């Protein structure tokens, strides 16, 4: 079986509702992406960079539970916190010498479990290695962005 036989495609479609508000469809779900009022939005949903780290938290949760089940680790609870600092000057066109995205992200996963420290360290390493969203955040992913006229 080739690598291509194991690849699954995921997709979203999105429609701009205003300069800051986007409605995104994924499978049978719809969600709103917006900016807070302080950044010119209507605050009707998390902003794009909050969705990014929220998606990572959701992925980490799935992978923590998957790996724990594989290894026979009982989890009574899992709590995930992710935070990062972002300098908006690049996005706003006010600076060229800063990064547009997060400068660094800190992830803290707290579990309630009888597992010892070595077991949790091994779990942490496996989760970090196997999390698809974390992989996309931590490693360059080839992208191709095009803008096409609807009038064409």
Can you read off the two tokens belonging to residue 2? 């080739």
The enclosing domain of 87 has a CATH number of 3.30.300.20
Can you read off the two tokens belonging to residue 29? 């779900």
Same domain, 38 and 17: yes
- Tracing tokens 């600076």 back to the chain, one arrives at 95
Same domain, 65 and 132: yes
How confident is the model over 18-43, as pLDDT tens digits? 999 999 999 999 999 999 999 899 99
Question: Does residue 3 lie in a domain region?
Answer: no
Same domain, 66 and 112: yes
Q: How many distinct structural domains can be found in the chain?
A: 2
Q: Give the residue numbers spanning the domain of 14.
A: 9-45
pTM: predicted TM-score of the whole model, two decimal places: 0.93
H helix intervals, 2-144: 48-71, 117-130, 132-138
Same domain, 128 and 87: yes
Residue 124: pLDDT above 70? yes
Same domain, 59 and 121: yes
Same domain, 36 and 57: no
DSSP state of 82: E
Number of C-beta neighbours around residue 144 at 10 A: 4
Same domain, 23 and 97: no
C-alpha distance from residue 126 to each of 63, 64, 131 (Å): 9, 9, 8
Same domain, 60 and 72: yes
Round to whole Å and give the CA distance between 133 and 56: 5
Residue 1: pLDDT above 90? no
Same domain, 61 and 131: yes
Same domain, 112 and 56: yes
Same domain, 78 and 113: yes
Question: Does residue 17 lie in a domain region?
Answer: yes
How confident is the model over 88-106, as pLDDT tens digits? 999 999 999 999 999 999 9
Same domain, 105 and 76: yes
Question: Does residue 152 lie in a domain region?
Answer: no
What average pLDDT does this structure show over 118-128? 99
Question: Does residue 104 lie in a domain region?
Answer: yes
């Amino acid at each position: 079986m080739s690598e291509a036989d194991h690849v699954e495609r995921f997709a979203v479609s999105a429609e701009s509702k205003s300069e800051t508000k986007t409605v995104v469809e994924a499978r049978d779900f719809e969600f709103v992406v917006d900016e807070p009022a302080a950044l010119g939005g209507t605050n009707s949903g998390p902003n794009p960079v909050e969705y990014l780290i929220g998606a990572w938290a959701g992925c980490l949760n799935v992978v923590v539970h998957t790996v724990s089940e594989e290894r026979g680790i009982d989890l009574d609870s899992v709590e995930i916190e992710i935070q990062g600092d972002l300098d908006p000057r690049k996005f706003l066109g006010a600076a060229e010498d800063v990064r547009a995205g997060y400068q660094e992200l800190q992830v803290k996963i707290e579990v309630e479990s009888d597992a010892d420290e070595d077991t949790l360290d091994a779990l942490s390493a496996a989760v970090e290695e196997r999390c698809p969203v974390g992989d996309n955040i931590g490693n360059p992913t080839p992208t191709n962005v095009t803008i096409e006229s609807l009038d064409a």
